Chain A
């Protein structure tokens, strides 16, 4: 079976940096996505990694290590509006663009 693990909840302070980890054990791998989802809203695309290394996009960065089955999402200069659920999702080999999601990490940003 496919297994994607991420912490259920995290709390951080406004202006700080937070790292959300995701580990996966899947039969085949063809890329990893991070999505942000505010309560009652659509998931929105944050990042895509298919090769090892760091992808940086403004305040958000995502890292992938395929040999370790590990990714993280790094959020810098946290803002209150960053309070949301962060979903890690894997594309499997031969699965087209079907995504297998983790349960999501609920991030709460406090003053």
Chain B
């Protein structure tokens, strides 16, 4: 039982490049979330999903897209990376109110 896993752990991008962050959970949770964490700002919700095939915008969705084709996976895409997207990205899943977080992906956009 791995819980929530994220790949990659670290990535450096140039401005304008694209990439996809993968989140996988093995707890059969319906809800999945993508957050970004910046110094002094806690965690801010980017997008979330309440079930397979569904997605919804969170607090800071601009510049990101998501897909939930399979219940266990939640993908976060950056189509054209910008330096403002330099951050640590966390995925979480939940079967109720408790959210279980992955270890994070550190992204640096130059």
Q: Are A and B physically bound partners?
A: no
